[in-house]
Amino acid sequence: MNLLAVDKIRLWREKPQVMVRELFGVTPDAWQDDVLAMFPHTPRMAMKACKGPGKTCVLAWLCWNFLLTRLQPKIAATSISGDNLADGLWTEMALWQGRSPVLRAAFTWTKTRITCNDSPETWWMSARTWAQGADSNRQADTLAGLHADNMMFVLDEAGGIPDGVMAAAEAGLANAIGKSGLEAHIVMAGNPTHLEGPLYRACTSERSLWEVIEITSDPDDPKRTPRVSVEWARQQIQKYGRDNPWVLVNVFGKFPPSSLNALIGPDEVKEAMSRHHKLDDYAKAAKILGVDVAREGDDKSIIFPRQGIVAFEPVVMRNFDSLQGAGAVARKWHDFDADGCFMDNTGGFGAGWLDQLRVLNRDPVGIHFAGKASDPRYFNKRAEMLFLACEWVKDGGALPNIPELLEEMTSTTYFFNKDALQVEDKDQIKQKIGRSPDYFDALGLTFAHPVHPALRDALGARRAHSSERRQHDPFSRGRLLGRR
């Protein structure tokens, strides 16, 4: 480490923002400058951020500063998963090392460790992860075992990191605070996606212990991050509303209120179940079937019909094989005069039903609940469909009076997976209410994709002749209408 003069190292130690400019040749954003200036004097630092402001970049700058300007330092870094750490912070460390001849000459980067060439066994940064399914003790071991005069713990994507991991870092910090010649830091950054865990506590009950930096892309905030498009932020606010949980997290960098943890409240569902619409309000809308296929013997297969703002009484089946199930769907398709049908094919459970329906000259669309959502706000297709169903209810949709549906809708909660909305798995809800949420999933399937309606008269009857009816393509590109 004889590559730099002592006075240069001293300057960069006290002013990391100067190091970033001189070593990397870049100018930090205003909020990044603030973080860099705070770092030498702040043992606990938490960055609560919107989507995409460059927080992982700042973490990498701080790590390189600590490695370069302290003697025999040790840094332990972790993230919500091993893949996230490898793709995020660890890749960022390699990127900035590549931009500095000094760092390339002084340090060696590997997939799990960065070491000083002069003292590789005592001067390093380590990537730490825990196994999926690890208990709290094994999670705590992730950051345990650091002993050095200069220590640093780094938690990227801290919103979802277990409490046990932070406990180990706090123990290391406690051994250094107030002791002469020792320096220790905990630095974490993440999106405010969880109403529990280290980041949430640092911003709420433990706020007095932490220096919290709030990073927003709010287009009306003069201190907003410049890395997020103002136009994009305004579009999200206009499209979904300022109080939407996804907007709160990803645009404003704020925690969603705990009251929004449920997809929908019981009063809203009860109101929908007592709501009645005139035929004129929906007669010309597309008629859609959502079919949830039973996975186990005690589950139900449900055919849920919906036309515009009205959902009708579903068909309930138990222990139907693929031939019986396809026959029931075909009959309902004919009786309801449906324009389209979406069928759950997660894990291939609906494959036999789909095949048999095609033999009957029907063309249902198989939907994989774990598949990619059309809207990037949602983690998967199931989350997207169930959120759309709840929005439809809030916008005036009418439901049949089914107590099981009420319980399923109001028992389903959501959470954030990274920066996307995800809902509880079917198995989790089944453990909670004692059965699979088959009614809700079948209703959700009617929102899988937009459907173009056939021409109908004021009473809802098709106006097309039989030859025209065969030519009607409910999923024709360029002719699709809105989901509702």
The total of structural domains in the chain comes to 3
136 neighbors 150 (Cβ within 8 angstroms): no
Same domain? 340 vs 429: yes
Residue 480 maps to a domain: no
Residue 238 and residue 350 share a domain: no
pLDDT on residue 134? 60
Task: Please give the residue range of the domain that contains residue 248.
Answer: 218-261
Give the CATH number, domain containing residue 119: 3.40.50.300
Residues 165 and 154 both lie in one domain: yes
Q: Are residues 182 and 224 in the same domain?
A: no
Degrees (nearest 5) of the Cα angle 315, 318, 320? 95
Residues 78 and 169 reside in one and the same domain: yes
Residues in the chain where the model's pLDDT stays below 70: 1-3, 131-141, 144-145, 178, 257-260, 297, 458-459, 463-484
256/275 same-domain check:
no
What is the CATH classification number for the domain harbouring 282?
Answer: 3.30.420.240
Q: What pTM value is reported for the model?
A: 0.65
List, for residues 27-63, the tens digit of each pLDDT value: 999 999 999 999 999 999 999 999 999 999 999 999 9
Query: How many contiguous H segments (helices) and E segments (strands) does the chain have?
Result: 20, 16
pLDDT per position as a tens digit, 462-476: 765 444 444 555 655
pLDDT at 483: 38
Residue 421 pairs in a beta bridge with 378, 416
Rounded distance between C-alpha atoms, residue 327 and residue 160, angstroms: 46
In this structure, are 156 and 251 located in the same domain?
A: no
Domain shared by 232 and 373, yes or no: no
Helix-helix angle 381-394:438-445, to 10 degrees: 90
Instruction: For residue 198, give the DSSP letter.
Output: H
Residue 330 shares a structural domain with residue 453: yes
Q: Tell whether 172 and 117 lie within a shared domain.
A: yes
Residue at 479 is within a domain: no
- Is residue 293 within 8 A of residue 349, CB to CB? The reply is yes
Give yes or no: residues 129 and 254 share one domain. no
Find out whether 215 and 55 touch, Cβ atoms under 8 Å. Answer: yes
CA 193 – CA 254 distance, rounded (Å): 8
